[in-house]
Chains A and B, each alone.
Chain A
Amino acid sequence: MEDILLQVRGLTVAFKDEKVVNDIAFDVYKGETFALVGESGSGKSITALSVLRLLPRNAIISAKEMTLNGENLLSITEHNFCKVRGKRIALIFQDPMSSLNPVMTIGEQIAEVMEIHFNYTKPELVQATFELLQKVEIPEPERRVNEYPHQLSGGQRQRVMIAIALAGKPDLLIADEPTTALDVTIQAQILKLLKTIQQDTDMALWLISHDLALVSNIADRIAVMQQGHIVETNSTAHFFKQAQHPYSLKLLAALPSMDSCINKVIEIPSKALLQVDGFKVYYPIRKGIFKRVVDYVRAVDGVSFQLQRGKTLALVGESGCGKTTLGKGLINLIAHTGGTVLFDGVDLTKMSKAALRKKRSEIQIVFQDPFSSMNPRMLVGEIIEEGLKALHSDMDSATRQQRVAKLLNQVELPESSAMRYPHEFSGGQRQRICIARALAVEPKLIICDEPTSALDVSVQAQIINLLKKLQDTQRISYLFITHDLAVVAEIADEVAVMYKGKIIEHGDVEQVLTNPVDEYTKKLLKAVPRI
């Protein structure tokens, strides 16, 4: 591998005085897959964008050397640089929803790139577009060509993005977290596609990701980035066998492992805390002038399960399978259509509104996005004591303050946090605050709706450990909603797999993860990237 395609030396990117990328050097060889791995804020996306000169104006970029195929990228004028972007280096973004133009057909969007870079005639253009769609394995390309982005699924949109990137026949394809927004089965498909295309066309692929497991399956070489520095560069095989840098080791250790569920001690089941029977949430589809209900969207379609006190049930499924709707339906944040919810011996579905308001405190919820789940205009102290105020109106302010301080201690945050605003905290810290808010009212059950999927892997491990610790000390049950099977293995006692509004498989975590019965579960497990 002597042929260096992209060579970068001494690259530094700064915003004002803050260096987000600090004197890094790396090479991308021809025809290889190079992975740049790091947690959010480590500067990996900035690195890619700085090579393409796509950073905002206030960024100060300096580099000793930056060559593409031996040609100095630094000396190319901005006018001529348009011929580098798209033609020689192409880019795929993370979110396929927002990176396609919603008012242009996908055919037009693919053809646009070729119109700029090649002198194709009209029929040639149509033919080339068609071929590209075939290449990215979109079914029925002749029909899809004239469709708009909203008519395609997430995975198909990402395929279109890849087609657009390939349209210029680039030497280097930069994929910035190309599968983060996608389900695990689709993620596997997209990665396979990228790998095939890369091998067919002998193009170099520069993959940017936070997911070491994903990268391990596809990359030839890995570079680990931490706070603007590349701390380790190694071949993939070497890296996973004997990583050198302590940070790499830490990342590897933090990876949730599918094997952690094996030999988990399962206690004899006690009395069920939560018993759900035939639970349904339907959304009516209305049509016509009189808004007659013509049909229903069956988001949750007759789900039944039990949850023991002090245990964790993981609810697994891909996006759109109804797992979040189920979680919110259980605590009446979304109105349900049918079924019974027996909580601690009381049927929640038959309770009056006022009684439910009191009972509610025993079931709490922790949301996925730690940024939108707290009122930005309230102090952390106020956020945590909100539940106390609502339920114990007789509690005086001093007692409340003490409770808040104690709760902050429990989630391992300093007591001084109470007088600060949520935006002053990092994602993981915010998730801790959300947990403290839920704990404030002493719940018996916490519904965790993807609490770790917005977090970096090392922070994710911390949060899971915190949840486990709280479970051990306070015997709280968790209904853990997630799409990440590795996290399930870490925390769950039981697993229920949901597909299209129904639970298709339910059992002990070890049994489901190692010896699944259902076809869909098998497919799901197979798609999970493993080291």
Chain B
Amino acid sequence: MIILWTDALIYILVVASFLAGFFISRKPHFQRPLKKISASKTGMVSLLFLIFFIVIGLLDSIHFKETEGRTREIISLLDYVAKPLRMQNEKTYSAPFSAYLYSKEMVEEDDRKIVWGYPRLKFGGSHLQNPDQEGLADVFNKAAVGFAKGAGLFILFFVLLWSYLHDRHKYLLKGSTAKVVWATAFLLISTAYMLIYLSGYYHVLGTDKVGEDVFYQAIKSIRTGLVIGSLTTLIMLPLAIVFGIMAGFFRGWVDDVIQYIYTTLNSIPSVLLIAASILMVQVYMSNHAEDFNSLIVRSDMRLLFLCLILGVTSWTGLCRMLRAETLKLREMEYVQAAQALGVKQSTILIRHILPNVMHIILISVVLDFSSLVLAEAVLSYINIGVDPTTYSWGNMINGARLEMARDPVVWWSLLASFVFMFGLVLAANLFADTVRNAFDPRRTEQGE
């Protein structure tokens, strides 16, 4: 097993969030908000989607060296599972579920005649004798079979789990929310299985310019998106929270210094800063080639640095908002009452200010999460984003620029990245919304 830098950080993040979850669930007064989250249908369904994305991302974060093959590349568990998707490359573009290439070539027909037409694909739909006639029916057929198999799998697990849950955790089965969540899980798993089953026979989302499966690319991009979203936030949050709250609470010279730092940082075009640091990393890596001997290590390093520099450049907005809110909060009478009680300044910051700016942090983190994924796309466009060899929605969108200008248009790359990105960002948004509502005690009695 090989642990890349971002892998290590992801593991730490997972462990930390498990510990945090454990800690929160032990505290008696967190029981009510937690119950509220678990009772919210939108919240739980979006959490399910998020978990689905996260599981794929985690599978993609366990790297090891291939035991067979000529090159013995570093691959992830996801690559291992999705080997057919990874290996079955076509020559160039092909549409979703198509059995033919998307561009004309000289094709040798059975009677040795050479015609100018669309050649058959090497893998997609290759089991068909006559794709023109049986194609559509076969797709539906296979889809139904795949769905049924997925459903069967789910029901099997559900039945196995049933007796256990029924005895120990009955609340997981009762109530309308539980029903909705189980139904969503059923649909999600069956659909996922159907897609996996189908991709054994077809390119579900077509292929790109070099014949790579777009579905595979989109799945691989989940990890990149999660890494950029979470690691950048992880770097940005402490800076924004500590500086913002301190500037607002202490005012005076502390405020002056912090304001000076972020106005200076803000006045440098962030693209320049990002470009400079990415180029720096590139140069460093080419000077120390022996430490970065494989492609995947290099692109991982670049991803990490991108997160770092994005984090450093993007904390100012949140910082300013937190400063303004803290300025308002520090004049609140409960803060003054705490001062009168002789509570330490640091305790006031943590106990009185921080919980009351949490909603701002949560909202802006979720909004930033989506804008970061988009920022990555923009940066890829001017070649200072993630490494071109890294799969990312940004790279896919960047590639789709030319494809959209092509005639006939190639739309599936853009659509795939859009759908996946949309799914992740929407789920994160809805879930954050539920969390924010649940943790606001003033909203607790107002129904949904």
Q: Give the interface of A toward B (CB within 8 A).
A: 328, 331, 333, 357-358, 360-361, 363-365, 367-369, 372-379, 383, 386-387, 389-391, 419, 421, 423-424, 434, 437-438, 440-441
Pick from B338, B340, B356: contact of A376, CB under 8 Å: B356
Let me know if B344 is at the binding interface, CB within 8 A. yes
Chain A hits for B338, CB < 8 A: 386
From residue A79, how far is it (CB to closest CB) to chain B in Å?
A: 35
Q: How far does the alpha carbon of A441 sit from the alpha carbon of B339 in the complex, in Å?
A: 13
Interface residues of B in 310-357 (CB under 8 A from A): 332-334, 336-344, 347, 351-352, 355-356
Pairwise interchain contact B342-A361, C-beta atoms closer than 8 A: yes
From residue B245, how far is it (CB to closest CB) to chain A in Å?
A: 15
A-B contact pairs, 30 of them (CB 8 A): A328-B336, A333-B339, A333-B340, A357-B344, A360-B339, A360-B340, A364-B341, A365-B336, A367-B337, A372-B334, A374-B334, A376-B356, A377-B355, A377-B440, A378-B351, A378-B352, A378-B355, A379-B29, A387-B342, A389-B343, A390-B341, A390-B347, A391-B341, A419-B29, A421-B441, A424-B445, A437-B337, A440-B341, A441-B341, A441-B342
Pairwise interchain contact B342-A390, C-beta atoms closer than 8 A: yes
Q: How far does the alpha carbon of A372 sit from the alpha carbon of B339 in the complex, in Å?
A: 15
Chain B hits for A369, CB < 8 A: 333
Let me know if B26 is at the binding interface, CB within 8 A. no
Q: Chain B: how many interface residues by the 8 Å CB criterion? A: 25
Pairwise interchain contact B29-A376, C-beta atoms closer than 8 A: no
Chain B hits for A374, CB < 8 A: 334, 337
Q: How far does the alpha carbon of A365 sit from the alpha carbon of B351 in the complex, in Å?
A: 19
Pairwise interchain contact B342-A391, C-beta atoms closer than 8 A: yes
Task: Give B344's nearest chain A residue, CB to CB.
Answer: A390
From residue A453, how far is it (CB to closest CB) to chain B in Å?
A: 14
Q: How far does the alpha carbon of A378 sit from the alpha carbon of B441 in the complex, in Å?
A: 9
From residue B134, how far is it (CB to closest CB) to chain A in Å?
A: 59
Q: A333-B336, A367-B337, A372-B333 are in contact. Are A377 and B344 (CB under 8 A)?
A: no
Pairwise interchain contact A390-B343, C-beta atoms closer than 8 A: yes
From residue B344, how far is it (CB to closest CB) to chain A in Å?
A: 7
From residue B107, how far is it (CB to closest CB) to chain A in Å?
A: 68
Q: How far does the alpha carbon of A357 sit from the alpha carbon of B339 in the complex, in Å?
A: 8
Task: Give B358's nearest chain A residue, CB to CB.
Answer: A377
Chain A hits for B168, CB < 8 A: none
Pairwise interchain contact B336-A361, C-beta atoms closer than 8 A: no
Q: How far does the alpha carbon of A369 sit from the alpha carbon of B332 in the complex, in Å?
A: 10
B-side binding surface: helix, strand, loop or mixed? helix
Chain B hits for A438, CB < 8 A: 337
Pairwise interchain contact B334-A357, C-beta atoms closer than 8 A: no
Pairwise interchain contact A434-B337, C-beta atoms closer than 8 A: yes
Interface string of B144-160 (1 = CB under 8 A from A): 00000000000000000
From residue A158, how far is it (CB to closest CB) to chain B in Å?
A: 26
Q: How far does the alpha carbon of A358 sit from the alpha carbon of B342 in the complex, in Å?
A: 6
Let me know if B113 is at the binding interface, CB within 8 A. no
Q: How far does the alpha carbon of A374 sit from the alpha carbon of B352 in the complex, in Å?
A: 9
Q: Give the interface of B toward A (CB within 8 A).
A: 28-29, 332-334, 336-344, 347, 351-352, 355-356, 439-442, 444-445
Chain A hits for B439, CB < 8 A: 377
Task: Give B28's nearest chain A residue, CB to CB.
Answer: A419
Pairwise interchain contact A437-B341, C-beta atoms closer than 8 A: yes
A-B contact count (CB 8 A): 82
From residue B322, how far is it (CB to closest CB) to chain A in Å?
A: 16
Q: How far does the alpha carbon of A368 sit from the alpha carbon of B339 in the complex, in Å?
A: 17
Task: Give B355's nearest chain A residue, CB to CB.
Answer: A377
Q: Given known contacts A357-B342, A367-B333, A438-B337, what 7 new A-B pairs fall within 8 Å (CB)?
A: A333-B340, A361-B341, A361-B342, A367-B336, A387-B342, A423-B442, A434-B337
Chain B hits for A423, CB < 8 A: 441-442
From residue B61, how far is it (CB to closest CB) to chain A in Å?
A: 35
Pairwise interchain contact A376-B442, C-beta atoms closer than 8 A: yes
Task: Give A362's nearest chain B residue, CB to CB.
Answer: B342
Pairwise interchain contact A377-B356, C-beta atoms closer than 8 A: yes
Chain A hits for B333, CB < 8 A: 367-369, 372-373
Q: How far does the alpha carbon of A358 sit from the alpha carbon of B344 in the complex, in Å?
A: 11
Q: How far does the alpha carbon of A42 sit from the alpha carbon of B339 in the complex, in Å?
A: 36
Candidate in A364, A365, A379 with the most chain B CB atoms within 10 angstroms: A365
Pairwise interchain contact B336-A386, C-beta atoms closer than 8 A: no
Chain A hits for B336, CB < 8 A: 328, 333, 365, 367
Q: How far does the alpha carbon of A333 sit from the alpha carbon of B337 in the complex, in Å?
A: 9
Q: A376-B356, A377-B441, A423-B441 are in contact. Are A331 and B340 (CB under 8 A)?
A: yes
The 10 closest A-B pairs by CB, nearest first: A387-B341, A373-B333, A421-B441, A367-B333, A377-B355, A390-B343, A360-B342, A357-B342, A375-B334, A365-B340
Chain A hits for B355, CB < 8 A: 375, 377-378
Q: How far does the alpha carbon of A363 sit from the alpha carbon of B332 in the complex, in Å?
A: 19
Q: How far does the alpha carbon of A440 sit from the alpha carbon of B338 in the complex, in Å?
A: 12
Chain B hits for A419, CB < 8 A: 28-29
Q: How far does the alpha carbon of A424 sit from the alpha carbon of B340 in the complex, in Å?
A: 25
Pick from A367, A376, A377, A386: contact of B341, CB under 8 Å: A386
Chain B hits for A378, CB < 8 A: 351-352, 355
Q: How far does the alpha carbon of A399 sit from the alpha carbon of B214 in the complex, in Å?
A: 64
Pairwise interchain contact A372-B337, C-beta atoms closer than 8 A: no
Chain A hits for B351, CB < 8 A: 375, 378, 386
Pairwise interchain contact B343-A387, C-beta atoms closer than 8 A: yes
From residue A292, how far is it (CB to closest CB) to chain B in Å?
A: 18
Q: How far does the alpha carbon of A387 sit from the alpha carbon of B339 in the complex, in Å?
A: 9
Task: Give B356's nearest chain A residue, CB to CB.
Answer: A377
Q: A333-B336, A365-B337, A367-B333 are in contact. Are A376 and B441 (CB under 8 A)?
A: yes
From residue A287, how far is it (CB to closest CB) to chain B in Å?
A: 19
Chain A hits for B445, CB < 8 A: 424
From residue A228, how far is it (CB to closest CB) to chain B in Å?
A: 21
Chain A hits for B444, CB < 8 A: 421
Q: How far does the alpha carbon of A345 sit from the alpha carbon of B377 in the complex, in Å?
A: 69
Chain B hits for A377, CB < 8 A: 355-356, 439-441
Pairwise interchain contact B334-A360, C-beta atoms closer than 8 A: no
Task: Give A388's nearest chain B residue, CB to CB.
Answer: B341
Q: A367-B333, A367-B336, A369-B333 are in contact. Are A375 and B356 (CB under 8 A)?
A: yes
From residue B151, how far is it (CB to closest CB) to chain A in Å?
A: 42
Task: Give B343's nearest chain A residue, CB to CB.
Answer: A390
Chain B hits for A373, CB < 8 A: 332-334, 337
Q: How far does the alpha carbon of A367 sit from the alpha carbon of B331 in the complex, in Å?
A: 12
Chain A hits for B341, CB < 8 A: 360-361, 364, 386-387, 390-391, 437, 440-441
Chain A hits for B342, CB < 8 A: 357-358, 360-361, 387, 390-391, 441
Chain B hits for A361, CB < 8 A: 341-342
Task: Give B353's nearest chain A residue, CB to CB.
Answer: A375
Q: How far does the alpha carbon of A278 sit from the alpha carbon of B332 in the complex, in Å?
A: 28
From residue B32, how far is it (CB to closest CB) to chain A in Å?
A: 9
Task: Give B442's nearest chain A residue, CB to CB.
Answer: A423
Q: How far does the alpha carbon of A228 sit from the alpha carbon of B332 in the complex, in Å?
A: 33
Q: How far does the alpha carbon of A60 sit from the alpha carbon of B98 in the complex, in Å?
A: 60
From residue B287, how far is it (CB to closest CB) to chain A in Å?
A: 50
From residue B102, how far is it (CB to closest CB) to chain A in Å?
A: 55
Q: How far does the alpha carbon of A389 sit from the alpha carbon of B342 in the complex, in Å?
A: 10
Chain B hits for A387, CB < 8 A: 341-343
Candidate in B332, B340, B342, B355 with the most chain A CB atoms within 10 angstroms: B340
Candidate in B336, B342, B344, B347 with the most chain A CB atoms within 10 angstroms: B342
Task: Give A420's nearest chain B residue, CB to CB.
Answer: B441
